Structure 1
């Protein structure tokens, strides 16, 4: 992680305060004074601040049921931040692993572990996300085959990665994708002449949504490790 983030995660300093300490030469990494806040460091490095060894707080992994009309930002903007629903210390250190649009509901994973969230959001890791999609008109019989092959999104040069479409009712489907382009689900259905009227994420990897709207819980160790196992299986 970045050095400034490590210092914040190891102390009560704000990002501004940590930046000042680093640029003033107060931080030593493996016996070298480092003044670049963007330097990449690891928990195994020996890092000290004014002579005191720093130890990063344990990473946090959270599941949240995102309500409609909230945003996956750390601050309120046009819509309120979903972080208003998470009552934890140092919430500013957290980020969402795979954002949802303001009007999309459902499963969101929140963490302060950037390497872990990389396994979720990077298409080459093939982490599956399952969405329940409400449509404006009945789904055509040929759409599943089109999505399995990949469709051309407006403004994109490459086809979407293969996706799995399951019909629940003529106007409700389950869509499984392994990437997260801007407004991807809505654009995929627009590409086949349909329109999304409701969108809800039910599952990421092996983790299914199991709390009520606006509630959250910490992930279990096995749930956390399931994404590490996905990454290792794709590289072995």
Structure 2
């Protein structure tokens, strides 16, 4: 592969931008500065840009522990996006498989594999998502049965799918749903006269948030975790 094409694929830049980087002497191949974009790379060539080795990436699968205050989009006029938390080549090629609100924390899955994320987000696929919920008011025991039967959310035409509610304390609960309506967890509790004051996603399908990840940290998914949605 030509060096300039390699740079366009690993850095997400145009061929013209790659040429400028080369002319500026910012790229080395096997330890030597190379300025010619037409240079042919061997299979084992080591390409470094600004002290960082570049590698062609295949499909990427990432688990992020999302902090509060970050939005799950690439561009936002008011808030930082989750993508600024990544130290990755071409983060603009990644997307979130199942967004969270800005004030919601916890498990976010990110990938550049559209088919894989479709299995998580498509209404045709039943994918469980579990949330730890903090409420403003005590949760009555009968809410367990109410959510199990489904509730009618304002603006919707059908009941929510059956959801599993486990009460942890008077104002704390764990809720598992199998769909992803807009602000669904908050709207479900609002429908029974309560208000969510804290929301943290713990699990998507069989993938659980890694306890070792601090807010803002991320890691690649294991082969077993990726395979769950293949």
Normalised by the size of structure 2, how large is the TM-score? 0.75
**Structure 1: how far apart are the matches of 2:229 and 2:9?**
22
**Among candidates 214, 221, 224, match of residue 222 of structure 1:** 224
State yes or no: 1:103 paired with 2:77.
no
Per-residue CA shift, 1:59-86, capped at 9, x if unaligned? Answer: 0000000000110011243110011111
**Structure 1: how far apart are the matches of 2:173 and 2:121?**
23
Cα deviation for residue 12 of structure 1 reads 4.4
**Structure 1: how far apart are the matches of 2:168 and 2:229?**
28
Instruction: Please say which structure displays the higher CA radius of gyration.
Output: 2
**Structure 1: how far apart are the matches of 2:155 and 2:64?**
32
Mind listing any 5+ residue stretches in structure 2 that lack a counterpart? Answer: 1-7, 18-55
Equivalence map 1:92-131=2 (5 Å): 92-131=92-131
Cα deviation for residue 124 of structure 1 reads 2.5
Question: Who is 1:147 aligned against?
Answer: 147
The two structures, once aligned, show a CA RMSD in angstroms of 1.8
Question: Who is 1:37 aligned against?
Answer: none
**Among candidates 185, 198, 213, match of residue 215 of structure 2:** 213
Equivalence map 1:50-69=2 (5 Å): 57-69=57-69
Distance 1:11 1:196, change over 3 A: closer
Equivalence map 1:163-174=2 (5 Å): 163-174=163-174
Which structure has more helix as a fraction of its residues?
1
Name segments (4+ residues, structure 1) moved above 4 Å: 8-14
Are the counterparts in 1 of residues 10 and 89 from structure 2 also a CA contact under 8 Å?
A: no
